[in-house]
């Protein structure tokens, strides 16, 4: 069974209605590559409407509440995202873990909510520079993934997409080498298959961290890299198009 190839653009706190309109009109469509755009919450409904009739293009939120409803001012539930036509949700991005105190337990609860409503969670994992230098990269990623597996169960994990994003590579211009990324991706696949036979072969694992047109092809040539989660370069339409083409 071949895994989905995915190129997802995380706009972070950037974008506008005009930018959205322009990018949807300009993005290339490449056979067998699922392209995902993740604008901020206010643009999700319009984004979903714009991509509704387009093949291979879908919309992700950048975050979601771990609660389903109730007195949680400022939160947005998975049901609401589903209601406005979003398909996936980025969960556990390192900026949310670091700046907004998201623990492994919160991330696991969010993934559980996303799966419950039939959306696709894009689970971000990755080590800090200090952890890499200590040689604990694989242990850190494994712990982050296991905490989700423990809550949702390996049998419900087929629909999770994992994004391996070394924290030191995000927004720094310094990508992991293709060999460094491949090593971690292979170890994640091994962990998944140890949890449930065959699971490692099914789950798409994206690389994220300073992916650009210049390094995308080499990353995508690695056996266990199924695409990319792209931050800064997803805001430069021509460059994002080059990354999409490199995945094809």
User: What is the set of active-site residues?
Assistant: 93, 165
Q: Residue 181 forms beta bridges with which residues? A: none
**In sequence order, which residues have a C-beta less than 8 Å from that of residue 107 and are 6 or more positions away?**
91, 92, 97, 123, 144, 147, 148
Question: What does the binding site for ligand PEP look like in residue numbers (CB under 6 A)?
Answer: 10, 12, 93, 165, 170-171, 208-211, 229-233
The two three-digit tokens of residue 199, written as one number: 């699971």
Say how far apart CA 240 and CA 8 lie, in whole Å. 9
Q: What are the start-end ranges of the E strands in the chain?
A: 5-10, 33-38, 57-61, 88-91, 120-125, 161-164, 205-208, 227-230
Say how far apart CA 108 and CA 217 lie, in whole Å. 32
Q: What are the start-end ranges of the E strands in 92-186?
A: 120-125, 161-164
Collapsing DSSP to helix, strand or coil, 194 comes out as helix
Q: Positive or negative CA dihedral for 113, 204, 33, 176?
A: positive
State which residue, 39 or 208, has the beta carbon closest to ligand PEP: 208
State which residue, 118 or 171, has the beta carbon closest to ligand PEP: 171
Q: Residue 35 forms beta bridges with which residues? A: 7, 57
Q: Which residues are annotated as a binding site?
A: 10-12, 171, 210, 231-232
């Amino acid at each position: 069974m071949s895994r989905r190839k995915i190129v997802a653009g995380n706009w972070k706190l950037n974008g506008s209605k005009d930018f959205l309109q322009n990018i949807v009109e300009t993005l290339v469509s490449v056979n067998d590559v699922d392209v995902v755009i993740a604008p901020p919450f206010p643009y999700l409904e319009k984004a979903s409407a714009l991509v509704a009739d387009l093949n291979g293009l879908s919309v992700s939120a950048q975050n979601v509440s771990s609660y389903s409803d109730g007195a949680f001012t400022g939160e947005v539930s998975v049901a609401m995202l589903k209601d406005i036509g979003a398909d996936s949700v980025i969960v556990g991005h390192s900026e949310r873990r670091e700046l907004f105190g998201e623990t492994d337990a919160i991330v696991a609860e969010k993934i559980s909510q996303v799966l419950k409503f039939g959306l696709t969670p894009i689970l971000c994992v990755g080590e800090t520079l200090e952890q890499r230098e200590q040689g604990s990269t694989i242990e850190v990623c494994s712990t982050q993934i296991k905490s989700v597996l423990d809550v949702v169960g390996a049998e419900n994990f087929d629909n999770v997409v994992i994004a391996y994003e070394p924290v030191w590579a995000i927004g720094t211009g310094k990508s992991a080498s293709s060999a460094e990324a491949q090593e971690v991706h292979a170890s994640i696949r091994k962990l998944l298959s140890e949890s449930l036979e065959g699971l490692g072969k099914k789950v798409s694992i994206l690389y994220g961290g300073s992916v650009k047109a210049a390094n995308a092809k080499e990353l995508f040539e690695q056996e266990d890299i199924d695409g990319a989660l792209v931050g800064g370069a997803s805001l430069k339409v021509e460059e994002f198009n080059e990354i999409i083409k490199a995945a094809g």
